[in-house]
Homo-oligomer: A and B are copies of this chain.
């Protein structure tokens, strides 16, 4: 029943598994995590929502609400144990278990992701890259082999890979997604700016830079269009 749940682009028709945590809260958790790791490094043992809120520019209530979703239990007056909280968030997000992934599209963006070692801290391990361009097959990028696309399905199946990352151009994205599904991949992190057509049980997460750019450029355009401070419905 779980399907694409891209926060902003999702069709409301097919409501996915009512998540037990709001998407925005979910997306704030890594921010807390990052902050808490810093705290721990500084040797700080306990922290309260108010402190977190002050440092991260969030209202304490929201912080508390977000953390509650993870199941952490705090103590009045003292807050939460930093170490325990970090662990709770990691467990909640599944960062403790490694997710092995295949990446398809060894272009600029794909290369960037392949070289991003930090992902391993968050349970993401890209084990191989693929490309439909035969020219690219055989080369190595950041110590990962680039294989021809037609090997994907078979390999995914044999290696029990559950996660696929698409960093290919929009035109190829659907074909790639089909291959991934054929290989038994359960979740797709899609950087191509298209809506993928996949069976309902596949989790699709769209990472659309153009969405963000749209939002940003609208604000910027507006800034120069209307006098500061003015705001009225179009």
Q: A108-B116, A217-B124 are in contact. Are A231 and B17 (CB under 8 A)?
A: yes
Is A217's CB under 8 angstroms from B20's CB? no
Classify the secondary structure of A's interface with B.
mixed
Question: How far, in angstroms, from A113 to B107 measured CA to CA in the complex?
Answer: 11
A76 at the interface (CB under 8 A from B): no
Query: Is the beta-carbon distance between B205 and A216 smaller than 8 angstroms?
Result: yes
> In the bound complex, how far is the Cα of B16 from the Cα of A228, in angstroms?
12
A219 (CB) vs chain B CBs: closest residue? B203
Q: Is the CB of A216 within 8 A of B233?
A: no
Chain B residue contacts of A28, Cβ below 8 A: 8-9, 211
**Residues from chain B with Cβ under 8 Å of A135 in the complex:** none
- Chain B residues within an 8 Å CB radius of A97: 221
Task: Name the segment of A57-65, A146-154, A175-183 touching the other chain.
Answer: A57-65
Q: What's the Cα separation between A13 and B7 when bound, in Å?
A: 22
Q: Report yes or no: B162 in contact with A220, Cβ–Cβ below 8 A.
A: yes
Cβ of A199 under 8 Å from chain B: no
Residues on B with C-beta less than 8 A from A229 are 1
Picked from B30, B193, B209, the residue with its CB within 8 Å of the CB of A213 is B30
A69 interface contact, C-beta 8 A: yes
Interface 1/0 per residue, A184-226 and B, CB below 8 Å: 0011010001110000010101011111111111111111010
A1-34: CB near B (< 8 Å → 1, else 0) gives 1100101110111100110110110111111001
- Of A43-51, A78-86, A87-95, which binds chain B? A87-95
Most buried by B among A1, A27, A99, A216: A216
Shortest CB distance A207–B (Å) = 6
Q: Do residues B31 and A94 form an inter-chain contact, with CB atoms below 8 A? A: no
Min CB distance A163 to B, Å, is 7
Nearest Cβ distance between residue A74 and chain B, in whole angstroms? 16
